Chains A and B, each alone.
Chain A
Amino acid sequence: MRKVIAVGVAAALLHAPAQATDLGNLFSNVDFSLTGYGTAGTVLTSTDSAVFIRGNEASGATQSFAENVDSNLGIQATARFNSWLAATVQVEDSKDALTGVVPWAYLKVDPIDNLSVKLGRVEMPIFAISDSLDVGYANVWLRPPQEVYALSNLKELNGAELSYSLSLGGTHLTLTPYVGDTVIWTQRYGQMTGNDARGGELKWDTEWVTLRAGWAQAHVDGNILIENIPVGPIPTPLGDVTAYIPYNYYVEDVYSFEGVGALVDHNNIIAQTEWVKRYSHNYPGSVNATGWYVLGGYRFGPVAPYVSFAKTVKDHNDGYTAAGTLSDDQSTTAIGVRWDAFKSADIKLQVEHVNPEGTSGVSFAFINSPLGLLPATPAGSVNVFSLTVDFIF
Chain B
Amino acid sequence: MKKTLCIIALGQLLLVGAANADEVVVIGNPASVPLTKEQVADLFLGKSQGMKLIDQPASAPIKAAFYQQVSGHDLSQVKATWSRLIFTGKAQPPKEMADSAAVKKAVAADPKTIGYIEKSAVDGSVKVVLDLK
Judge whether B89 and A302 touch: CB under 8 Å.
Answer: no
User: Once bound together, how far apart are the Cα atoms of A167 and B36, in whole Å?
Assistant: 14
User: Once bound together, how far apart are the Cα atoms of A131 and B15, in whole Å?
Assistant: 31
Q: Of the candidates A2, A104, A301, which one forms a contact with B89 in the assembled complex, judged by CB atoms under 8 Å apart?
A: A104
* Residue numbers in B under 8 Å from A132 (CB-CB): 83-84, 87-88
* Residue numbers in A under 8 Å from B10 (CB-CB): 301
The stretch that binds A, out of B24-32, B92-100, B125-133, is B92-100
User: Once bound together, how far apart are the Cα atoms of A3 and B96, in whole Å?
Assistant: 8
Which secondary structure dominates where chain B touches chain A?
Answer: helix
Which residue of B has the minimal Cβ distance to A165?
B48
Which residue of B has the minimal Cβ distance to A170?
B38
The answer to whether B11 has its CB under 8 Å from any CB of chain A is: yes
The digit string for B1-13, where 1 denotes a CB below 8 A from any CB of A, is: 0001001101110
Judge whether B89 and A118 touch: CB under 8 Å.
Answer: yes
Judge whether B47 and A135 touch: CB under 8 Å.
Answer: no
Q: Of the candidates A167, A170, A300, A392, which one forms a contact with B11 in the assembled complex, judged by CB atoms under 8 Å apart?
A: A300
The answer to whether B79 has its CB under 8 Å from any CB of chain A is: yes
Closest 8 CB pairs of A and B: A301-B11, A138-B84, A340-B76, A131-B88, A132-B84, A300-B8, A138-B83, A88-B89
Interface residues of B (CB under 8 A from A): 4, 7-8, 10-12, 14-15, 38, 41-42, 47-48, 50, 58, 72, 74, 76-77, 79-84, 86-90, 92-93, 95-96, 112
Interface residues of A (CB under 8 A from B): 1-3, 35, 37, 74, 76, 78, 80, 83, 86, 88, 90, 104, 106, 108, 113, 118, 123, 131-132, 135, 137-139, 165, 167, 170, 172, 205, 207, 267, 299-303, 339-340, 343-344, 346, 392
Interface CB pairs A-B, < 8 A, 27: A1-B79, A1-B83, A3-B95, A35-B87, A76-B87, A80-B92, A86-B89, A90-B87, A118-B89, A131-B90, A132-B83, A135-B87, A137-B80, A138-B83, A138-B84, A139-B84, A167-B48, A300-B8, A300-B11, A301-B8, A301-B11, A302-B8, A302-B74, A302-B76, A303-B8, A344-B79, A392-B79
